[in-house]
Amino acid sequence: MKNNFDISAFVPIITEEAVTQGLVERFRKRRKEIGVTQRQLTLRSGVSFGSVRRFETEGEISLRSLLRIASAIGCLEDFEALFSRPNIRSLKDVK
């Protein structure tokens, strides 16, 4: 990850950097838990080694490549929850 200043280190708020760092750490942990190297992941997913390495070091990857590597480690269904919470603007929206 880049050594950028992240306000979430001092104030309890969610930032893009904190979410990215957490995602990368969880991904790397899962990949290692199932015993897959970065090289093996490239073969399973069809994503280049450079993209996998860049994701794990800098947190940068295309959405399509992220979905492919998630599928390769059995985590594709985790993306189903994204954007699924309803947008609540008032108490009338709560059901």
Q: Please tell me the predicted confidence (pLDDT) of residue 2.
A: 54
Helix boundaries (H) for the chain: 16-33, 38-45, 49-58, 63-72
For residue range 53-70, list pLDDT tens digits in order: 999 999 999 999 999 999
Type of residue numbered 8: S
What is the tens place of the pLDDT at every residue in 19-37?
Answer: 999 999 999 999 999 999 9
Q: Establish if 59 belongs to a structural domain.
A: yes
What is the percent of the chain where pLDDT is above 70? 87
**pLDDT of res. 14:** 85
Total number of domains in the chain: 1
In a domain, 18, yes or no: yes
Asked if the structure places residue 2 within a domain, the reply is: no
* Residue count (the chain): 95
Residue 73 belongs to a domain with what CATH number?
1.10.260.40
Cα separation values, 63 from 4, 7, 10, 92, 95, Å: 23, 25, 29, 35, 32
Q: Which domain holds residue 78?
A: 7-93
The pLDDT value given to residue 92: 73
> Residue 1: inside a domain, yes or no?
no
